[in-house]
Amino acid sequence: MSHISVKDLKITYGNHKALQGINVDIPDGQITAIIGPSGCGKTTFLKSLNRLIDLCDDVKVQGEVLIDGKNIYDPNADVLSLRTKVGFLSQRPFPLPMSIYDNIMFGPRIHRMNGERLRRQIDGLEKHNGVNGHSSPGQKTQDHDKKRSNGDQLVESYLRLAGLWDELKDRLHAPASKLSVGQQQRLALARALAVEPKVILGDEPTSALDPISAKLIEQQFKLLKEKYTIVVVTHILRQARRVADYVIFFYLGELVEHAPAEEFFSSPKDERTRAYIAGEIS
Amino acid sequence: MVRRRLEETIFKILMIISLTLVLTTLAAIVIVIVLKGYSALSLDMFIKTPKGGYYLGKEGGIANAIVGSLCLALGATILSTLLSLPIAFALQKEYTGKRLANLTRLSLDVLWGTPSIVYGAFGFVIMMYFGLRASMLGGIIALSFLMLPIMTRAMEEVIRMIPQELKETAYALGTTRIEVSLAVVLKQALPGIITGVMLAFGRGIGDAASILFTAGYTDYIPRSIFDPVASLPLAVFFQIGTPIPEVQQRAYASALILLIIVLLVSLITRLLNAKYSRHIVK
């Protein structure tokens, strides 16, 4: 699990100040919800945590983001390993133009994870899946295991972790683009987890989904927080109430308030927070 | 209300007229060529080289031009694909700034509009400089100049249409620019790239002016890329310019063969596109 600490972060797009002077510590092993109206810098903040923000035009970042004590904006920082460590789920899921199987194996293949590392990863997952009450893939298919490659087992394990295995096990080599949006988002989660991140960022990951798929994703997040630090942007207050352990409130590019969820919702300190929670401003 | 309905009707009529024009033009070309060339079409036309006089022969066939055109067009297609793909990839915003990219696009558009006789003359100057005589190699190089802008612009348009979020998804897994280009962008854009390649092939195989000085003409099938080579468009050009009716007829037969080749290429493009769009993300 990773600890994220943001110090005096300022982000501008051209002349537009998107974020100003953000200071916050994001707790490890919890779900942190970032709430606030549209256009107030939530996504900008989220993307600054794995430097996806670098891909935007005319963007300028000042200040520090420390992940496990290292400033990710240090000129010598390794962006590739940062992004491997900090996984990302976008608002609308985008399957990569390949099969379901290849989508999950994309990360491990790119990072050339060797058999031993995959094996270790699978063992870890089997324990994790076991804890969550799923049957372990190892027990069921022990006889076949020797014949199946590490990749096959890895794909199965991650699909189980994302709650997709039973739906997809018979069409692993079908195009991922043919899945429903809800399935695509869970596949995106499985794909992000396959590179073994420590942090998962979600940019309104349920906003394009039907209520049932959205619930499945929320459930996955709750299960995953034992192993990962999770940061989710949402503009649905009820969702924040349901899943968040910690809440950060952005308003017009400013971090207004951050606190543990219970405290945040029951006794907000800032007038704007109170008004937002009460639904007086949007 | 009457005005808006009238507007609708006028535009509908305009559309029908344009559509009819396109379809009848194609039909008219095919009908005229088939009617005029049919009687000269025989197996000999495909498998024999001209007999009885320097390329104006009434006997034999135009195997020299068929083989020559296929060699020229295939060679030029391969050469310009090798050049176009890197340019098209490099025009993505991750690699090239807006200004340079736009300047490149402008240059390509100017090159696209450049008459092919200019490429022929330019190719001829270069050949003189290197002391080459008219040869298959010279023709391939001149044709590549002609194909390059068509191919690059077609590919680049498709690559530019790829949603930024799709690339972001891949970047978020810790991939480099080149990995994203080769593993994601190439796959997603493949049908468009194939179309671009085939479009340029079709344009190249039918061009006469650029190979007039550079490839030369011969009654024989070339033995090496340093030999002069015959081509279908020039076969049509020379044969139709003669006062002998039988030879003129053979010009139409040659045109028909050229048309059939282009038609086949279009069909192959369709088939390949269907095959490679399976995984495309929409």
Give contacts of A88 with chain B, Cβ < 8 Å: 168-169, 172
| Domain coordinates in residue numbering, chain A | 1-94+200-282, 96-178
pLDDT for the residue numbered A120: 77
Residue with tokens 């736009």: B102
Give contacts of B282 with chain A, Cβ < 8 Å: 177
Would the pLDDT of B145 be above 80? yes
pLDDT for the residue numbered A133: 45
Would the pLDDT of A5 be above 50? yes
CATH of domain A1-94+200-282: 3.40.50.300
Would the pLDDT of A145 be above 60? no
Show the tokens assigned to A10. 């300022």
pLDDT for the residue numbered A212: 87
Least confident of A10-14, A29-33, A113-117: A113-117
pLDDT for the residue numbered A47: 94
pLDDT for the residue numbered A141: 47
pLDDT for the residue numbered A226: 86
Subunit contact B279:A97, Cβ cutoff 8 A = yes
pLDDT for the residue numbered B54: 53
Instruction: Quote the CA–CA distance of B139 and B219 in Å, as a whole number.
Output: 16
Would the pLDDT of B166 be above 90? yes
Mean pLDDT, chain A, as a whole number? 87
Confidence category of residue A125, pLDDT binned at 50, 70, 90: confident
For residue B21, how many other CB atoms are within 10 A of its CB?
Answer: 10
Sign of the CA dihedral running B65, B70, B75, B76: positive
Q: Please, are residues B81 and B151 in contact by the beta-carbon 8 Å criterion?
A: yes
pLDDT for the residue numbered B218: 87
Tell me the mean pLDDT in the region A24-42: 92
Q: How many residues are there in chain B? A: 282
Q: Which residues of A99-127 are buried (b: 16+ CB within 10 A; e: fewer)?
A: bbbbbbbbbbebbebeeeebeebbeebbe
Would the pLDDT of B85 be above 90? yes
Chain B nearest-CA distance from A38, in A, is 18
Of B171, B173, B281, the CB nearest to A95: B281
For residue B90, how many other CB atoms are within 10 A of its CB?
Answer: 16
For residue B2, how many other CB atoms are within 10 A of its CB?
Answer: 6
Q: Please, are residues A203 and A237 in contact by the beta-carbon 8 Å criterion?
A: no
Tell me the mean pLDDT in the region B1-21: 95
Percent of residues, chain B, with pLDDT higher than 70: 98
Chain A nearest-CA distance from B138, in A, is 39
Chain B nearest-CA distance from A84, in A, is 5
Chain B interface disruption, residue of A96, A179, A184, most B CBs within 10 A: A96
Instruction: Quote the CA–CA distance of B262 and B249 in Å, as a whole number.
Output: 20
Show the tokens assigned to A111. 């990072």
Subunit contact A176:B279, Cβ cutoff 8 A = yes
Pairing label, strands A246-251, A4-13: unpaired
Question: What element of type H or E holds A128?
Answer: helix A115-131
Q: pTM (2 decimals)?
A: 0.84
Confidence category of residue B55, pLDDT binned at 50, 70, 90: low
Would the pLDDT of B113 be above 70? yes
Confidence category of residue A242, pLDDT binned at 50, 70, 90: very high
pLDDT for the residue numbered A137: 47
pLDDT for the residue numbered A79: 92
Q: Please, are residues B171 and A52 in contact by the beta-carbon 8 Å criterion?
A: yes
Confidence category of residue A130, pLDDT binned at 50, 70, 90: low
Give contacts of A87 with chain B, Cβ < 8 Å: 172-173
Give contacts of B165 with chain A, Cβ < 8 Å: 90, 92, 94
Reduced to 3 states (helix: H, G, I; strand: E, B; else coil), residue A90 is coil
Tell me the mean pLDDT in the region A95-101: 94
Would the pLDDT of A1 be above 70? no
**Which one of 3.40.50.300, 1.10.10.10, 1.10.3720.10, 3.90.1150.10 gives the CATH number of domain B43-276?**
1.10.3720.10
Instruction: Quote the CA–CA distance of A221 and A240 in Å, as a whole number.
Output: 12
Chain B interface disruption, residue of A52, A105, A110, A198, most B CBs within 10 A: A110
Tell me the mean pLDDT in the region B81-108: 94
Instruction: Quote the CA–CA distance of B54 and B41 in Å, as a whole number.
Output: 20
Q: How many residues are there in chain A? A: 282
pLDDT for the residue numbered B38: 86
pLDDT for the residue numbered A179: 93
Indicate left, alpha or beta for B175 from its phi (over 0: left) and psi (-120 to 50: alpha).
beta
Would the pLDDT of A140 be above 50? no
Subunit contact A83:B171, Cβ cutoff 8 A = yes
Chain A interface disruption, residue of B94, B162, B169, most A CBs within 10 A: B169
Chain A nearest-CA distance from B93, in A, is 9
pLDDT for the residue numbered B57: 64
Give contacts of B279 with chain A, Cβ < 8 Å: 97-99, 175-177
pLDDT for the residue numbered A144: 52
Tell me the mean pLDDT in the region A68-94: 92
Chain A interface disruption, residue of B99, B164, B173, B193, most A CBs within 10 A: B173
Would the pLDDT of A74 be above 70? yes
pLDDT for the residue numbered A139: 46
pLDDT for the residue numbered A134: 47
Tell me the mean pLDDT in the region B61-71: 93
Percent of residues, chain B, with pLDDT higher than 90: 73
Reduced to 3 states (helix: H, G, I; strand: E, B; else coil), residue B272 is helix
Show the tokens assigned to B78. 């391969």
What type of residue sits at position B139? G
Would the pLDDT of A116 be above 70? yes
Tell me the range of A154-168, A220-234, B4-18, B237-251 where mean pLDDT is highest: B4-18
Confidence category of residue B246, pLDDT binned at 50, 70, 90: confident
- Digit-coded pLDDT (tens) for B12-46: 999 999 999 999 999 999 999 999 888 888 888 88
Q: What are phi and psi of A5, to 5 degrees?
A: -130, 120
Q: What are phi and psi of B223, to 5 degrees?
A: -95, -25
What distances in angstroms separate CA B143 from CA B36, B124, B148, B156, one per listed residue?
A: 29, 12, 9, 20
